[in-house]
Structure 1
Amino acid sequence: MKNNLRLAMMSFADINNYGDILFSHVFDMELRNRIPDVEIDFFTPSTIDLEGYHYEGYNRLKVDGKYDGIFLAGGEVVHLFDERTWQPIYEKQQKQVVSKYASDTVWDWVDCQSAFKAWLSVGVRPFGDKWDELKINNTISSLDYISCRGILSKKILEGSNFESFNKKIEITPDLGWIFPQYLDSQNQRGKHYREFIPTDTEYLLFQVHNITEEEAKIVANDLREAKQKYGYQIVMMPVIHLWKDEVYLEQINKVAGEEFIVLPNNLSVVQMLDVIVHASLTVTSSLHVAITALADGVPASVFNKWQGSKLQDLYGLQFRTDFLVSEVTEFANIFEKLEFERQHSKSLSLYAQFMREKLKETFDGIVNRMTNSR
């Protein structure tokens, strides 16, 4: 391939969310594995330096005609809810969006001049009253490559028309399935988790957000019983900084008599990765904590009141819908299922291997297409 290939990657890493940050890292890893001298600039709605990467605030003039390829990679970011979603998030974090809308990092650049433009493994939210058929169809026509991370996202992008099947919109695994490989690529596996968790301690990793005081009491009691029955320490790790999940975790631990380990809420993504892959079991409200665990063969359940399309896609495609829990009354039953899966299931490791291989093929295919487009 010709030298000095220049790429731009769009994301929402600037909201400081575990998965959104790691999308940049694994995209960088995969492209450099195939094109060692590639130049990649990273764009987010606001300008920020985070976890060793500089993110430039997106503006159309910064990318139009300046890159060989432009990518939006990962995240449930394909929607048009600026007022409902992005505006409150950026205001809450006191971050200045450079372009007119935060969603311009998704939509605005698709007709810019570039040899190759792609959405890679994106999630799509139901558009509701924001459906804009002309905008969406023009976007699909303008992009050279589109892949969604699940069948529900694909169908939403096809206008929820179940008789339609647009072959241009492919389905590829979520980029989270290669998060543990990033840990290994940096030679960081096993170098962080013992900073917080005593040696020889086996643990159940737990994280949740958005629960009531009464629910916190129920969860605390169920976790204490699971600890006693299965012998795992309970380790709580804040992940969803935007919604202050550390408050809910501290509340649960207080009810439990402070007998659990609550990790700091400022861990780096590499530290969080190392904690996740060394857990015995995982229960979380975070999609990408669950995927990271599953990608490394750790049985994981999602405990989240909201069962959106992204969670249904993950557990539906895994044939594990009984591991998706939304009610606190169901919570206690999940531990036995996870422990049984840890001891007896062979499908988790095989499924994770399959997803990694599919992503390898996906990146191989993208690089080949970019080569042909130059």
Structure 2
Amino acid sequence: MSNEPLKIAFTGVYDIANYGDHLFPIIFDKIMKMKGLNIKLYLFSPVGGTQSLSLNEIVYPLNEMESLHLKHNFDAIIVGGGGIFHYASGQQKIKRDSDEFVDYPVFETWVIPSIVAYKHNIKLIWNLLGGYHDFSPFYQKLTQALCDPIDYISVRDNYTKKILTDSGIEDTLINVFPDSAFMMTECIPHELIEKSLNNLRNSDKEYIVYHANRFLPKSAIPDVVKSLDYFYNLGFEIILLPLAYTHDDESILREINQNADSRYTLYEKELNMYEIMSMLAGCHAYIGVSFHGAITAACHGKKVVAFDYMLNGKTKDLFKMLDLQDYYVTDSNSLYERTVQCHKNMSPVILDDKIASLHQHFDTIIELLVSTKTREKGSDNFLINFSNTISNINKSFSTLQSEFSQLDNLSRDTHIKYVELQDKHAELCKLNIELKDNINTFSSANNELQDTFNALQLQNKELFKQKTDAEKWIDEMKKSRTYNFIKTINNIKLKIKKALIK
């Protein structure tokens, strides 16, 4: 092969500190060189800058790809891998010490290469992309157009393949292989990993790695601590390992450590790419939400438990592919039980078939890169599909216009009814005030009547008391000698009066 390196524009997420994304260019570069192909990678990402995790390569902004091709004359564009096959922007911190999350247009990593490759007739290769969700008909037409210039399509799972076939891409054009991270033990020397681990750790104590991101439910933290304490009580060191500093993994890991009374280890410095890799490779077991964290540990024969509270389809499919469904957990209530089960029962995963298939994948890429044949990308399909996409936009716009008109009429009717209701409300408010005034008048009169009634009650009470006292006095008088004496005198007087009349 020629000593002149092939110049390859390699796109992906390399300008933010996310462990998994940085594996793709490292593994691709090492595999190509291991197989005897001399290449030079030009890294491209949405923002650009310097490659994160102390890898320090230049990362060019994707909007400069065309101008850099005119300068360097790229032999190929490779869309590097990972879960970038969608049309969304994500919220990211660009730097670890930033407090701000900004829109990060991930979709540019595969959309821009298609346009540049079509315009300049450059070889375009997809290196094991992953998708997240199905596309609407509008995006399916756009996807069909953007896939037309691709010379080799490879994806990392059947779900992503289905997204493509649903978008009108022929089944025979889509190649499915495992994630390229499974090749790490083939191309990254064990001595390099061992050296990185020894530089980072002064202890021979066995340890457990746990990873989470900021989306971990706070309610799950007690179950996480319980599961980690199972190992801690067996004598293991617990290391809380951020894998994406720009996802703010550290904040939730600090909170977990606080709940554990700071008995776990959390490195304050930002670890570099190979230090993170060595921590995962050297652990006794990995527990966490990271797809590539689990792959790295499994590749080095370690036990793995996925605590996938994010419900990522890629992680579920990964553990199914590895026949590790028993150690795939989505509910923290079962985390402790599955963790203990994994510790007692899990054997190292055999990956020979995955590695063999990936060798086939990379051999196909090499054949394409060294071939002098080029597929003419100036076909009408690209333009026709783009035209269909524009037609769909116009149809969607017409539909939206009609819906907007209906909404406008509805809004106008609603406003009229609202004004009528306001008038009725004002009338009711006026009546309410009048009723309140009447109630206040009645209440005042009622209070006066109540006062009069209370006064009469007091008078009646006093009269009743006087009557009772008088009756009591009369009863006492009737029983007295004086009363009886007077009664006797009156009887004598009556008798004398009657005698005189006779």
Secondary structure (helix, strand or coil) at the match of 1:80 reads coil
Structure 1 CA distance, aligned partners of 2:85 and 2:269? 28
Structure 1 residue 130: Cα displacement: 7.9
Structure 2 CA distance, aligned partners of 1:320 and 1:112? 45
Secondary structure (helix, strand or coil) at the match of 1:206 reads strand
Structure 1 residue 360: Cα displacement: 1.9
Structure 1 residue 31: Cα displacement: 1.9
Structure 2 CA distance, aligned partners of 1:69 and 1:33? 19
Aligned pairs, number = 359
Q: Which amino acid aligns with 2:162?
A: K
Is the alpha carbon distance of 1:368 and 1:270 closer, same or farther for their aligned partners in structure 2, counting shifts above 3 Å? same
Is the alpha carbon distance of 1:211 and 1:40 closer, same or farther for their aligned partners in structure 2, counting shifts above 3 Å? closer
**Structure 1 residue runs without a partner (length 5+):** none
The range that moved more, 191-200 or 285-294, is 191-200
Higher relative strand content: 1
Paired position in structure 2 for 1:117: 124
CA deviation vs aligned residue, 1:238-257 (integer Å, no higher than 9, x gap): 11222312122122222222
The answer to whether residue 85 in structure 2 is matched with residue 78 in structure 1 is yes
Partner residue of 1:170 out of 171, 175, 194:
175
Question: What are the equivalent positions in structure 2 for 1:215-254 lying under 5 Å apart?
Answer: 215-228=220-233, 230-254=234-258
Structure 1 CA distance, aligned partners of 2:67 and 2:13? 17
Q: Percent identity?
A: 20
Secondary structure (helix, strand or coil) at the match of 1:139 reads helix
TM-score by length of 1: 0.87
CA deviation vs aligned residue, 1:259-315 (integer Å, no higher than 9, x gap): 222223510010011111111111011111111111111121211212222112211
Structure 1 residue 232: Cα displacement: 2.2
Structure 1 residue 11: Cα displacement: 0.7
Paired position in structure 1 for 2:450: none
Paired position in structure 2 for 1:329: 333
CA deviation vs aligned residue, 1:209-244 (integer Å, no higher than 9, x gap): 22344322232123112322x432211111122231
Is the alpha carbon distance of 1:265 and 1:307 closer, same or farther for their aligned partners in structure 2, counting shifts above 3 Å? farther
Checking the alignment, whether the CA contact within 8 Å between 2:93 and 2:247 is kept in structure 1 is: no
CA deviation vs aligned residue, 1:70-127 (integer Å, no higher than 9, x gap): 1001110010113xx2xx32678679999xx552221122124244211111101214
Structure 1 residue 128: Cα displacement: 4.5
Paired position in structure 1 for 2:192: 188
Is the alpha carbon distance of 1:58 and 1:300 closer, same or farther for their aligned partners in structure 2, counting shifts above 3 Å? same
Is the alpha carbon distance of 1:154 and 1:17 closer, same or farther for their aligned partners in structure 2, counting shifts above 3 Å? same
Q: Which amino acid aligns with 1:26?
A: I
Structure 1 residue 366: Cα displacement: 0.9
Is the alpha carbon distance of 1:96 and 1:182 closer, same or farther for their aligned partners in structure 2, counting shifts above 3 Å? farther
Structure 2 CA distance, aligned partners of 1:265 and 1:356? 34
Q: Which amino acid aligns with 1:353?
A: D
Paired position in structure 1 for 2:500: none
Is the alpha carbon distance of 1:220 and 1:358 closer, same or farther for their aligned partners in structure 2, counting shifts above 3 Å? same
Paired position in structure 2 for 1:126: 133
Q: Which amino acid aligns with 1:156?
A: I
Q: Which amino acid aligns with 2:82?
A: G
Paired position in structure 2 for 1:357: 356
Structure 2 CA distance, aligned partners of 1:134 and 1:249? 42
Checking the alignment, whether the CA contact within 8 Å between 2:45 and 2:59 is kept in structure 1 is: yes
Paired position in structure 1 for 2:385: none
Question: What are the equivalent positions in structure 2 for 1:285-296 lying under 5 Å apart?
Answer: 285-296=289-300
Paired position in structure 2 for 1:48: 49
Paired position in structure 1 for 2:92: 89
Structure 2 CA distance, aligned partners of 1:261 and 1:97? 32
Higher relative helix content: 2
Structure 2 CA distance, aligned partners of 1:70 and 1:327? 41
Secondary structure (helix, strand or coil) at the match of 2:220 reads helix
CA deviation vs aligned residue, 1:310-334 (integer Å, no higher than 9, x gap): 1122112222222221111011012
Is the alpha carbon distance of 1:81 and 1:96 closer, same or farther for their aligned partners in structure 2, counting shifts above 3 Å? closer
Checking the alignment, whether the CA contact within 8 Å between 1:44 and 1:105 is kept in structure 2 is: yes
The range that moved more, 49-58 or 204-213, is 204-213
Paired position in structure 2 for 1:34: 35
Paired position in structure 1 for 2:397: none
Is the alpha carbon distance of 1:160 and 1:285 closer, same or farther for their aligned partners in structure 2, counting shifts above 3 Å? farther
Paired position in structure 1 for 2:62: 58
Structure 2 CA distance, aligned partners of 1:165 and 1:323? 35
Paired position in structure 2 for 1:314: 318
Secondary structure (helix, strand or coil) at the match of 2:301 reads coil
Checking the alignment, whether the CA contact within 8 Å between 2:207 and 2:239 is kept in structure 1 is: yes
Paired position in structure 2 for 1:278: 282
The answer to whether residue 155 in structure 2 is matched with residue 156 in structure 1 is no
Paired position in structure 1 for 2:459: none
Secondary structure (helix, strand or coil) at the match of 1:142 reads coil
Structure 1 residue 56: Cα displacement: 0.8
Paired position in structure 2 for 1:13: 14
Q: Which amino acid aligns with 2:76?
A: G
Paired position in structure 1 for 2:476: none
Is the alpha carbon distance of 1:130 and 1:73 closer, same or farther for their aligned partners in structure 2, counting shifts above 3 Å? farther
Structure 1 CA distance, aligned partners of 2:36 and 2:68? 21
Structure 1 residue 146: Cα displacement: 0.7
Secondary structure (helix, strand or coil) at the match of 1:77 reads strand
Q: Which amino acid aligns with 2:149?
A: S
Secondary structure (helix, strand or coil) at the match of 1:259 reads coil
Structure 1 residue 145: Cα displacement: 0.4
The answer to whether residue 375 in structure 2 is matched with residue 368 in structure 1 is no
With CA pairs under 8 Å and 6+ residues apart, which has the higher RCO, 1 or 2? 1
Secondary structure (helix, strand or coil) at the match of 2:127 reads strand
Structure 2 CA distance, aligned partners of 1:326 and 1:372? 46
